[in-house]
Amino acid sequence: MKTIDDFNFSDKKALIRVDFNVPLNEEFKVTDATRIEAAKPTIIKVLEDGGSAVLMSHLGRPKGQPNPDMSLKHIIDKVSEIIGVQVKFAEDCVGDVAEKAVADLKPGEVLLLENLRFHAEEEKGDEAFSEQLSKLGDIYVNDAFGTAHRAHASTTIVAKYFGDNKCFGYLLANEIEAIDKVLASGEKPVTAILGGSKVSSKITIIENILDKVDNLIIGGGMTYTFVKAQGGKIGDSICEDDKQDLALSILEKAKSKGVNIYLPVDVVAADDFSNTANTQVSAVDNIPDGWQGLDAGPKTLENFKKVILESKTILWNGPVGVFEMESFAKGTIAIGNFIDEATKNGAFSLVGGGDSVAAVKQFGFEDKVSYVSTGGGAMLESLEGKTLPGIAAILK
Ligand code: AMP
């Protein structure tokens, strides 16, 4: 794997695809700079080598049209503050304006290009547009995991114009390494904890990881499709009736592959989908009509705890309850605490994909797990076993 450490950027211009798609408030101020912070080590490495950095990113969904609300101008101050260098700006990401700005760039300087998605060609992966982008640097560095699953001009197509002069930035390399640790080279026992609302959105992940894990913990809304398929009474709990056969076949497959599956045995059931609903703990396969399971129960959490604490490698994707409501967040918080404990005991833990990161941030587990992925969709597709186009383009 070719990373940024394989290059010396002295007197070179690095064209770096970053993911600066950050949230802005009504005054166009950055409200969460995590993604900018995440790209910092890569940018600093280029500058410390004596090179200059040309940063390209998208922001929002301008749909191929310039839109002042989504200009990357809004983030110049924040990027300058984080990198510690006054960042220059080019009003367009291709053409004369961009090329002139790059030509004027001196070692130690940083140039931010205007939003890539102001050009429809970006998302189309247009060749001519990609070639224009490729004129803006000597070495192409991809450090945007969040868009690595898209075959866009700046994330994938542009790479082919750089021959061997292309590599992964630190962030993207770390993401690849973390996924590899969990799915390929992790110390056993390897445990995946999958939650979230629907079997249908997680099925490809489940099928892929059955070949790679020792234990699979299933929680959250997915539970009830499995329980009903096995003849349990789930009351009014969320269920995908058309996925019951699929659930049974997953259980069969797990058995034949020697993977231990752990499903909830008890749940916190509520008489309404509301934070103020009445609640009771009930057996997962005997939930009264009019009640729905919204969080993992105490016996379930004891079982899950035992498995998690015995694990050496842990993957967590998806909450085990409706964590957005305080009354049903306890299970998800408990899982976070068990993973924290296992990590302190030496396990490698990776959290990522979809909503998981939101839950982890909300409850302050960010610093307690080994790695929190920065890519929602990209992480989900990696867990599904797909080769991401942005990663493949560098490896080619
Ligand atoms: P996902 O995006 O598939 O990871 O699903 C995350 C969502 O699943 C969160 O918004 C949770 O509120 C929801 N969820 C978790 N457990 C349940 C449950 N028992 N019933 C309904 N929704 C749930």
Cα angle 77, 80, 82; round to 5:
110
Min mean pLDDT across 50-59, 95-104, 144-153, 196-205 is at 196-205
Closest atom of ligand 1 relative to the 195 alpha carbon = 4
Residue 57 pLDDT exceeds 90: yes
**Whether the Cβ atoms of residue 215 and residue 192 lie closer than 8 Å to each other:** yes
| Per-residue model confidence (pLDDT) at position 201 | 86
Q: Is the CB of 196 under 6 A from ligand 1?
A: yes
In a domain, 331, yes or no: yes
In a domain, 389, yes or no: no
Residue 354 pLDDT exceeds 80: no
| Per-residue model confidence (pLDDT) at position 104 | 98
* pLDDT tens readout for residues 371-395: 998 788 899 899 999 999 999 999 9
Last residue of a domain, one of 143, 172, 201: 172
Q: Is residue 259 located within the same domain as residue 122?
A: no
Last residue of a domain, one of 112, 146, 172: 172
In a domain, 360, yes or no: yes
Q: Is residue 59 located within the same domain as residue 37?
A: yes
Determine the residue type at 18: V
Q: Is residue 20 located within the same domain as residue 142?
A: yes
| Token pair of 251 as six digits | 């259980």
* pLDDT tens readout for residues 218-253: 999 999 999 999 999 999 999 999 999 999 999 999
| Per-residue model confidence (pLDDT) at position 362 | 86
* pLDDT tens readout for residues 125-137: 999 999 999 999 9
| Per-residue model confidence (pLDDT) at position 339 | 97
Average pLDDT over residues 248-277: 97
In a domain, 178, yes or no: no
Residue 355 pLDDT exceeds 80: no
Last residue of a domain, one of 131, 148, 172: 172
Q: Is residue 209 located within the same domain as residue 328?
A: yes
Q: Is the CB of 294 under 6 A from ligand 1?
A: yes
Q: Is residue 106 located within the same domain as residue 203?
A: no
| 155, HSE (Cβ side, Cα atoms, 13 Å) | 26
Cα–ligand 1 centroid distance for 66 (angstroms)? 36
CATH of the domain at 371: 3.40.50.1260
Q: Is residue 78 located within the same domain as residue 205?
A: no
In a domain, 312, yes or no: yes
Q: Is residue 151 located within the same domain as residue 36?
A: yes
Find the domain containing 263 and state its range. Answer: 186-383
Q: Give me the number of domains the chain comprises.
A: 2
Q: How far apart are CA 259 and CA 213, in angstroms?
A: 7
Q: At what angle do helices 199-209 and 244-257 cross, to 10 degrees?
A: 20
**Average pLDDT of the chain to the nearest whole number:** 95
Query: Is 326 exposed, middle or buried, given 0-12, 13-18 or 19+ CB atoms closer than 10 A?
Result: exposed
In a domain, 393, yes or no: no
Q: Is the CB of 201 under 6 A from ligand 1?
A: yes
Average pLDDT over residues 355-365: 82
Q: Is residue 129 located within the same domain as residue 221?
A: no
- Going by CA atoms, what residue is nearest to atom 10 of ligand 1? 322
| Per-residue model confidence (pLDDT) at position 353 | 79
